[in-house]
Amino acid sequence: MKRFKSLMVGVLSAALAFTAVGCSSSSGGDAQVLNIYSWADNFDPDVIADFEQKFNVKVNYDVYGSNEEMLAKIQAGASGYDLIQPSDYMVATMIELGLLEEINKENVPNLKNIVSTFQTPPFDPGNKYSIVYTWGITGIAYNKNYVKEQPTSWNDLWKDEYKGRVILLNDPREVMGMALIKNGFSNSSTNKTELETAFADMKTLMPNVIAFDTDNIKQKMIAEEAWIGSVWSGDAAYIQAENANVDYVIPKEGATIWADTMAIPKGAKNKELAEKFINYLMDPEVSVKNYESIGYSNPNEQAYPLHSEEYRSNKMIFLDPADIARAEWLVDVGETLQEYDRYWTEMKSGR
């Protein structure tokens, strides 16, 4: 065992020596480094390049595929990241776990540009730890070739004629949330009977469901495999650009609103630089360039008049304020999450 240990130590130190050499030779100059950990394609590359030039910094951009993955990494002590982009509910979890730094608002004067509703989201009222970056609403996307009448209610997914043609997000909170909203409850209900009602209702929808698929929902809608389904507004915009027959509506009962945020993980080495970057992204002109490139809704009010006509007239990106008012955030349901997961498993395995 001793030999094995010394071999290990040898490997480690040899590798360290190697990388130390590799790093010092490659970095050159004394530019500050900003380490971003985010979703793929979440920034316009030019916007990052401009920031690097303007402030003489180097931006490293690493990607993750889910909030849980990011959380696991941060919890495992992946110190070194300066900016992360957790979604709404994950912000609440991370605040509770003490994993986020408070944002120093003096360094982020552009925060005032954000639409007021996003300045007081329930997961972080007052933007103490997070600032909304991209957002959207889960509504109904439908193909006009097969869905003749414009849907107005979640009820429409239950219609017999859409047998095997309804697509849903692959997420327990989103799907149960939809069924809860349809039945007039909160999408974050912790009431057992309400959950039971929603689940019973979901079971009757199952014959219509072609798939629970978040990753390929766009492809399935574009290829007309699915006719109608619960789709994020940003994805709906993407789908419509590829297949003009697809339209999008936010049902009258209401819908779930979500956001990905900008936040700074505890112990970030370049906190001020991260704040500088956050502030830069919220500059109206920068944000116009950035959001038109990535195709998401811009929460920046000051930027609205600067956006192109095309972007502004897209109702999946520039959502109607009345629709936003009907939308509801998913909030932490505590222990009840197990109930959601149990129903979810039952729903999927009972297919």
Partner 1 sequence: MKKRNNALTGFSWLMIVFLYLPIAILILYSFNESRINAVWNGFTWKWYISLFENRQVMQALTNSLTIGLISSILATVLGTAASIGIKHYSLRWRNVVNGLIYLPIVIPEIMLGLALLVLFSQMKMDLGKATLIMAHTTFSIPFVMVIISARLADMGKELEEAAQDLGATPWQTMRYVILPLIMPGIVAGFLMAFTLSLDDFIISFFVAGPNSTTLPLYIYGLVKRGVSPEVNALSTLLIVSTVLLVIVAELFRRKDSKTITY
Q: List residues near partner 1 by CB under 8 A.
A: 3-4, 7, 10-12, 14-16, 18-20, 22-23, 33, 35, 37, 39-41, 45, 49, 60-66, 73, 76-81, 215-220, 222-223, 225, 235, 238, 242
Shortest distance (Å) from residue 148 CB to partner 1? 23
Q: Is 115 exposed, middle or buried (0-12, 13-18, 19+ CB in 10 A)?
A: middle
Q: How far is the CB of 344 from partner 1 (least distance, A)?
A: 20
Phi first, then psi, for residue 304 (nearest 5°) are -50, -50
- Tally of residues, the chain: 351
- Which residues does 324 contact at the CB level (< 8 Å), separation at least 6? 117, 137, 257
Nearest residue to 230 via CA among 213, 253, 207: 213
Buried b / exposed e over 297-314, threshold 16 CB at 10 Å, is bbbbebbeebbeeebeeb
Q: Is 172 annotated as a binding residue?
A: yes
Task: Report the nearest approach of partner 1 to the CB of residue 86 (Å).
Answer: 14
Residue 15 or 206 with smaller CB distance to partner 1: 15
**At residue 180, what is the residue type?**
L
Residue pair 139/248 in contact (Cβ under 8 Å)? The answer is yes
Nearer to partner 1, 113 or 293 (CB): 293
d(CA 186, CA 214): 22
What DSSP element (H or E) covers 68? helix 67-75
The values of phi and psi at residue 83, to 5°, are -140, 130
| Smallest distance from partner 1 to CB 150, Å | 24
Question: Taking the complex as a whole, how short is the minimal distance between the CB of residue 295 and partner 1, in angstroms?
Answer: 11
Cβ proximity to partner 1, 29 vs 77, nearer residue: 77
Closest approach of partner 1 to the CB of residue 277, in Å: 14
342 is in an annotated binding site: no
Q: Which is nearer to partner 1, 218 or 307 (CB)?
A: 218
| Spatial distance between the Cα atoms of 324 and 102, rounded to a whole number of angstroms | 28
CB of 213 to partner 1, least distance (A): 10
Query: CB-wise, 159 or 266, nearer to partner 1?
Result: 266
CA distance 293 to 71: 27
- Give me the residue label for tokens 């909304």: 132
Residue 61 or residue 304: which is nearer to partner 1 going by CB? 61
Q: Choose between 84 and 181: whose C-beta lies nearer to partner 1.
A: 84
- Phi/psi for 81 (5° steps) reads -85, 140
> 94 near 86, Cβ under 8 Å?
yes
Query: Token pair for residue 39?
Result: 């979703």
**Ligand-binding site membership of 332 (annotated):** no
Per the annotation, binding residues for spermidine are: 89, 171-174
Mark the binding-site residues, compressed into ranges: 89, 171-174
